[in-house]
Structure 1
Amino acid sequence: MSVNQEAKGLDEKRGVEFSDGRLSRSEDEGQELTWTEEEEKVLVRRLDFLIMPLLILGFFALQIDRGNIGNALTDFFLRDVGITQFQFNVGQQLLSAGIVLLEIPSNIILYRLGPTVWIGGQILAWGLVATLQAFQKGLGSYLATRLLLGLCEAGFIPAGLFTMTRWYKRDESTSRFSIYFLGNLLSAACSGLIAYGILHMRGIGGLAGWQWLFLLEGIFTVLVGILFICLFPISAANPVSLIGLRYFNERESQILQQRVLRDDPSKVQARQNISLEEVKTTFTNWRLIPHLLMTIVALAPASTMGSYAPTLVISMGYERLQSNAMASIGAWIQLVMNVLWGVIAEKTRRRGLMVFLGILILWGTSLGNRLLVDSTNYPLKFGVLTASLSFQVPFHAVNGSWLSLNCKTAGERSITMAMLIMCANIAGIVGSQLFQAQDAPLYRTGFTVIVAFLSAAVVLATLANLQYWLLNKFQKRVGKDRYQY
């Protein structure tokens, strides 16, 4: 049975079936459910203040625990733990490898258990690991904690993206995807400022500043996990939290379900498992190739810069702890750019163009970093570095929305989102080795490789747009639905 046939069959019953097995029916079996535009807008605003803050908070905690090690480097972390820069890079690769290994299995489990239990459990798990890494000593414990952190974090980002598609319509999703990534970007912006304060605690209780950093931020994550489990609604069909808070009445719940399904029948999720056919279809979908390769080569530099931005600022002659706060300036600008990119892409419905422009600007700023690598004009170098940090990822959320809109079933969408974030973490594995100790402190070779990667990303972004343009010309001739680009 096709997706449209499945959706039609459910509509004939005046209901929609979701993954928790419940069938939502309209308030009157004899007529189709209707609602006003204003009524729908009110419900969407309530969703924005319920669903989005919890997902953003989880993403904030994820990035805090994943990225605070870059701040720890400025507090003699390598010396205290007893590892080299090369070993540090290997640990960063293990974190990304752990995420890649469990990305798809995690989303398959999400499909069955739902976001409240699975996402909340993930946050608790990596929060405990993040807290206990404050007591690591030596190479073995360092590598083990990085791998465990990656395994526990695996699947969170695509789980959040997929969960949003269950609550929002197609023309609402791009801006929400970008807003979701605010959790990541806000963390990057705040982490330097937070670290600046916490790292001054070195010596209190006999602990190093970086130990206090891991302890306090890990405990924060555990609290976020508890909050998520207690407050996040189970599903649109059952909008109740695990502690019994009901957020929408029966009619509102029906509207929330049917507005999404009428907008996109492919979001019917009549089973609690992803079929083998959906897995096969997704893995053999050649249209994904430029998207996924582009993600790897465009995000690898972002991984490098995220870890080494404070160190680069130090190399310009700025004070060790001050560098953490200065490196966060670009991250604050990136917050604005990320939302702006998503809103423009959603309003203009030119997601592919915005992805291309985002990568092109990043290429230009990175080329500036390479050309200035030997310059002693440190204010100019810092300005160009800040501009580069400002455009590291705005294209990424829009690319995710672009992919999501062109998926044909809910299962395919779930796997596609997992594959996208897998590639983002493969980028992390690659990016963790772009800056080598022998290339320090200017990293001439590293910046050269970054420019080469982003040049390839510009080409791949062009190919991604071109393939949909050509496909839509063919689709129009044969009278089939057109692809979104």
Structure 2
Amino acid sequence: MNNEKVFLLNDKEDDLGDKKLLRKLDWHLIPTMTFLYLLSFLDRVNIGQAKLDGLTVSLKLSSNQYNTCLSVFFVLYVVLEIPSNLILKRLRPSRWIPMIMVGWGIVMTLMGLVNSYASLLICRLFLGAAESGLFPGVNFYLSSWYKRRELSWRISIFFSAAALAGAFGGVLAYGITKMGGVGGQEGWRWIFYLEGIATVVVGAIAFFFINDFPSDRPKFLTESEYNRVMTRLQTDAGAGASEHFSWKQVFAALSTWKVYAWSLCYISILVPFYSLSFFSPTIIQNLGFITYQAQLLSAPPYVFAFFTTMITAYVSDKYAHRSIFIIVWLSVSIVGYTILITLENLVVKYLAVVLVAGGLSPCIATCIAFISGNVSPHTKRATALAFMISVGNIGGIISGQLYRTQDAPRFILGHTINLGFCALGLISVVILLFGLRAENKRRDRLYGPINAPMVLPDTEVQSSDTFDVVSEEDRRRWGYEYMSEKEILDLGDQHAAWRYIL
């Protein structure tokens, strides 16, 4: 390679410079996004705490009307997720994310003024529309900064905000409802007022703290750090290093069976997860606790979920495996729902709620890392991720209907349906595991195993085909000698040298 200085990169060993770079990336990217999602999830599910403090009584809502208000959130949320990810790609995160945050913060604040079923329904509909861009957008954003085996830990830190919101939300709601009577307003209205105003303020400030994609050369990176980031990403992505927008990649994402299998797995996790998020205060109250006890006792299950999510993420990234952890934790959730259906002891059933929460939470973050690390190039990944999350959030529409007042106090119907979804998720991830493993073996058999580290010139990074720069012999071996560089880049995860993370 002439007299150029070269360095070796492989995905099993990072040098000290990479570790220092990762710490810098983590500090500038993860805390901001985690805090934003905490506010998002808090604003999404605080209606469950408001119900305990009298929302349904004040607005004279029937059980079906309340459940409809829960479900309608996801109607526009699902429809707008893919368009939002494409807008994010064009407008940049530092503009798009603060815009939608201010939007949903305003809607949340206005929810404190509702005085009828219709007005609450409209607010929940527009809240879903405004929030639709954050979760898929941030997952796509993080997958654009980190190597595939580094994703699970970072996405799990981000998603742990949902567990923290579940834990923090009950305690916060208990404190806020003590403001009942202030300004002539009921306590549940103050939940919406204060949490909505906080979101608006944070959204306005976020414009100054959110960094854009690596290719936008964010200011916190030096020139050498920027080059290193781009080299790491291109080496890890291989043929998926292409970042140009392409409708061909959009259609490619929607034409592979794997995306639909991931989507089926994801919706099977989200139905029980959302129903637990919305109804855990009600479920716990119906175990025999009074209102303030139910609000406070809704916290421990999510504290446990936080720890299971973080531990799973660490081990999952360490060993570069995804599916086995989803299988294990879905099995734990199935055990929890079985206990809730069959037993009547109060303490045991509360512990079952803890098991279910702790089992479902790590599955979500791991499933997102699973698809993010296995779909390429850039636009194809953005589309596949947004599609999976959109399909999954249809589960939010379903979950809002599962726990009806007439089924109290045991809620057998809701628990049984959720158990069935967990079993469906288990089947889906097993299919993915065997399917991806078979494809890896097929490529090994046809093209040989990919073991050698990639050798790249230590020069300014260009948007090039990292497989192509290795040797013309590889091009001939893979049958790509008559393909242009752009065509090879567009292969992404269909490239002969790509191996799926299981």
TM norm structure 2: 0.85
Q: Is the 8 A contact 2:323 2:433 kept in 1?
A: yes
Q: Is the 8 A contact 2:286 2:408 kept in 1?
A: no
1:248 aligns to what?
221
Q: CA deviation at 1:93?
A: 1.5
Q: Distance in 2 between matches of 1:31 and 1:415?
A: 38
Alignment partner of 1:423 is 2:387: no
Alignment partner of 1:173 is 2:151: yes
Q: Is the 8 A contact 2:271 2:395 kept in 1?
A: yes
Deviations 1:418-444 (A, max 9, x none): 012112211111111111222122212
Matches within 5 A, 1:224-263: 224-240=202-218, 246-263=219-236
**SS of aligned partner of 1:338:** helix
1:371 aligns to what?
342
Q: CA deviation at 1:325?
A: 1.1
Deviations 1:219-256 (A, max 9, x none): 1111221222111123334454xxxxx42222222222
Deviations 1:81-127 (A, max 9, x none): 23212111112211111110101000010111111111121111111
1:205 aligns to what?
183
Alignment partner of 1:108 is 2:79: no
Q: Is the 8 A contact 2:336 2:355 kept in 1?
A: yes
**SS of aligned partner of 2:257:** coil
Q: Distance in 1 between matches of 2:271 and 2:58?
A: 28
In the TM superposition, structure 1's runs of 4+ consecutive aligned residues that sit over 3 Å from their partners are 30-36, 237-240, 265-270
Q: Distance in 1 between matches of 2:268 and 2:145?
A: 31
Q: Is the 8 A contact 1:330 1:387 kept in 2?
A: yes
**SS of aligned partner of 1:471:** helix
Pair 349,234 (structure 1): closer, same or farther in 2 beyond 3 Å: closer
Pair 473,239 (structure 1): closer, same or farther in 2 beyond 3 Å: closer
Deviations 1:361-420 (A, max 9, x none): 111111111112xx2x21222122222222222111111111112112100100111012
Q: Distance in 2 between matches of 1:56 and 1:298?
A: 21
Alignment partner of 1:80 is 2:58: yes
Q: CA deviation at 1:146?
A: 0.4
Alignment partner of 1:359 is 2:330: yes
Q: Distance in 1 between matches of 2:69 and 2:392?
A: 17
Q: CA deviation at 1:31?
A: 6.9
Deviations 1:10-45 (A, max 9, x none): xx9xxxxxxxxxxxxxxxxx8779999222221210
Q: Distance in 2 between matches of 1:468 and 1:238?
A: 33
Q: Distance in 2 between matches of 1:269 and 1:475?
A: 22
Q: Distance in 1 between matches of 2:363 and 2:92?
A: 28
1:16 aligns to what?
none
Pair 363,267 (structure 1): closer, same or farther in 2 beyond 3 Å: same
Give 5+ residue unaligned stretches, structure 2: 448-495
Alignment partner of 1:392 is 2:360: yes
Alignment partner of 1:314 is 2:292: no
More displaced, 254-263 or 112-121? 254-263
Q: Distance in 1 between matches of 2:228 and 2:274?
A: 41
Give 5+ residue unaligned stretches, structure 1: 1-11, 13-29, 241-245
1:158 to 123, 133, 136: 136
Q: Is the 8 A contact 1:185 1:332 kept in 2?
A: yes
1:276 to 247, 251, 257: 247
Deviations 1:199-220 (A, max 9, x none): 1111111111111101111111
Deviations 1:35-75 (A, max 9, x none): 99222221210111110011101110100100100100101
Deviations 1:157-195 (A, max 9, x none): 111111112211122111111111012221111101111
Q: Is the 8 A contact 1:327 1:386 kept in 2?
A: no
Alignment partner of 1:323 is 2:294: yes
2:261 to 278, 282, 290: 290
Q: Is the 8 A contact 1:237 1:254 kept in 2?
A: no
